[in-house]
Amino acid sequence: MTEQVGAGRDRIGGGALIAAALGTVLAMSHHPSGMHGGGLGGIVHGAMIALLGVLSFGFLRFAQQRGFERPLILAGAIAYLAAFLAHVGAATINGFIVPALTGGEPPVSHDLFRFAWHSNQALAKLGVVATGLAYLGWGLDLAGNARMRWIGLAGVVAGIVPAALLAAGAITMNVTGAFIAYAAHALWAVLLGAAMWRGMARD
């Protein structure tokens, strides 16, 4: 029997969130420490782009289940779309554009590498902030549901804290800082995915 969104348990969307969130943590644990990660860099960033697509699928299933007519759900979906595009852009730069420049002929100027680095950082920061806004909207919406209140509040925390740490300069979007931010985001995605799996993420 085909599983329909809104019919109770959503094992498709929930499973997608759980698997992809855990996958992002695994991929980040193998992230090269520099811009020139060679073949491993391409594999890690390619995997991250694919996993971000799966996460987006899961989050859109959640938003569809809750209802796009809810302002906080719709706003969160728009914010997550911005986050998805920003993260994909950042991963494409470091995973594929920079290695292509490194192996190109004639040698590429240092200024071009600096431009690529700053572009990557700007997009990565935008991705964290936009994800935080999505989590904030979705978390506040869920906080109005007695069964989901603690998960909603956890979403608010998971969205605000990494963005606040980034804004305060407590973390940067180097490998360590990115791992902290993405791990916090992944943790809430797992919690939300488990709630969708059990049929809790709807009124």
Calculate mean pLDDT across residues 85-99.
Answer: 93
Across 186-202, b (16+ Cβ under 10 Å) vs e yields: bbbbbbbbbbbbeebbb
Q: Is the pLDDT of residue 4 over 60?
A: no
Domain boundaries, the chain: 11-198
- DSSP of 150-182: HHHHHHHHHHHHHHHHHHHTSS-SSHHHHHHHH
Q: What is the pLDDT of residues 137-162, one digit of tens each?
A: 999 999 998 889 999 999 999 999 99
Predicted local confidence at residue 111, as pLDDT: 86
Calculate mean pLDDT across residues 21-29.
Answer: 94
Region of 8 on the Ramachandran plot (φ > 0 left; ψ -120 to 50 alpha; else beta): left
Look at residues 79, 85, 50, 82 and name the one whose alpha carbon lies nearest to residue 63: 79
The CA-atom distances, in angstroms, between 165 and each of 152, 160, 178 are 20, 9, 11
Calculate mean pLDDT across residues 112-132.
Answer: 95
Mean pLDDT of the residues in the chain: 90
Q: Which two three-digit tokens encode residue 122? A: 């700007």
- In terms of C-beta distances under 8 Å and separation of at least 24 residues, what long-range contacts does 2-6 make, across chains too? 5/61, 5/64, 5/65, 6/64, 6/65, 6/202
Question: Model's pTM, two decimal places?
Answer: 0.89
CA-CA distance, 11 to 174, in Å (whole number)? 34
Q: pLDDT-derived band of residue 200, with 50, 70 and 90 as boundaries?
A: confident
Residue ranges of the alpha helices (H) in the chain?
11-29, 38-66, 71-92, 98-102, 110-143, 149-168, 175-198
* DSSP label of 37: -
Which residue type does 162 have?
P
* DSSP label of 70: S
